[in-house]
């Protein structure tokens, strides 16, 4: 009996871990969407060529928010200024960097209403993709439980109870995802 509980606990732990990873990934993806104000996280995915190695921008420079709509990037090696400019222009951020030979400055333009709506659409798509990942994790957990029932390890009543628990966990995670999306949408639409 104790062995059965361990199997079920393991299934639930894997399931909850998959849900948590999906939500954490969504949050990190949403951080990289710019919402009209300076946010250093929009630069998280940018890499620069540092002596032949693609290196994250944050590993070769100091990134500071100078005001609500400006970021200053101070590379530790001045020779990287041109590489940083090139990497930012090549990214899909839609920002035009300017430099004085020592630091790179980014100014975030005020977003148009149309651009804001497009960003909200893309956040909703990210949210829906995350929910799909969570539903797939639910499906996998249910399949494992059904296999345990088929093997005679758990009974029909136990299976029904576990299915309800799994659905309740998914419902709670969906509420979290919806809250994260609503918060980001509010941030994007704020002028």
Dist CA 47 CA 88 (whole Å) = 9
CATH 1.10.132.20 residue ranges for the chain: 2-32+112-189
CATH 3.30.1360.40 residue ranges for the chain: 40-107
Band the pLDDT of 44: cuts 50, 70, 90: confident
Band the pLDDT of 191: cuts 50, 70, 90: low
Dist CA 49 CA 160 (whole Å) = 55
pTM (global) more than 0.85: no
Mean pLDDT on 86-108: 85
Per DSSP, 58 falls in state G
Q: What is the third-level CATH fold of 40-107?
A: Gyrase A; domain 2 (3.30.1360)
Among candidate residues 126, 143, 160, 95, the one with its CA nearest the CA of residue 24 = 126
Q: What is the 3-state secondary structure (H, E, C) of 130-145?
A: HHHHHHHHHHHHHHHH
The upper half-sphere exposure of residue 75, i.e. CA atoms within 13 Å in the direction of its Cβ, equals 24
- Tell which CATH architecture fits domain 2-32+112-189: Orthogonal Bundle (1.10)
């Amino acid at each position: 009996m104790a062995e059965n509980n361990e199997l079920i606990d393991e299934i639930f732990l894997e399931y909850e871990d998959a849900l948590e990873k999906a939500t954490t990934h969504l949050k990190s993806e949403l951080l990289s969407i710019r919402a009209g104000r300076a946010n250093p996280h929009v630069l998280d995915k940018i890499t620069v060529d540092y002596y032949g190695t693609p290196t994250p921008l944050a590993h070769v420079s100091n990134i500071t928010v100078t005001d609500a709509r400006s970021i200053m990037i101070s590379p530790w090696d001045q020779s990287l200024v041109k590489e940083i400019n090139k990497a930012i222009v090549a990214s899909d951020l839609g920002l035009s960097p300017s430099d004085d030979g020592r630091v790179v400055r980014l100014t975030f333009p005020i977003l148009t209403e149309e651009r804001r709506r497009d960003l909200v659409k893309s956040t909703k798509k990210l949210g829906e993709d995350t929910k799909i990942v969570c539903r797939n994790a639910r499906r996998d957990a249910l399949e494992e439980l059904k296999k345990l029932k088929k093997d005679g390890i758990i009974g029909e009543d136990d299976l029904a109870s576990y299915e309800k628990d799994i659905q309740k966990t998914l419902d709670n995670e969906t509420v979290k995802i919806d809250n994260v999306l609503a918060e980001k949408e509010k941030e994007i639409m704020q002028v």
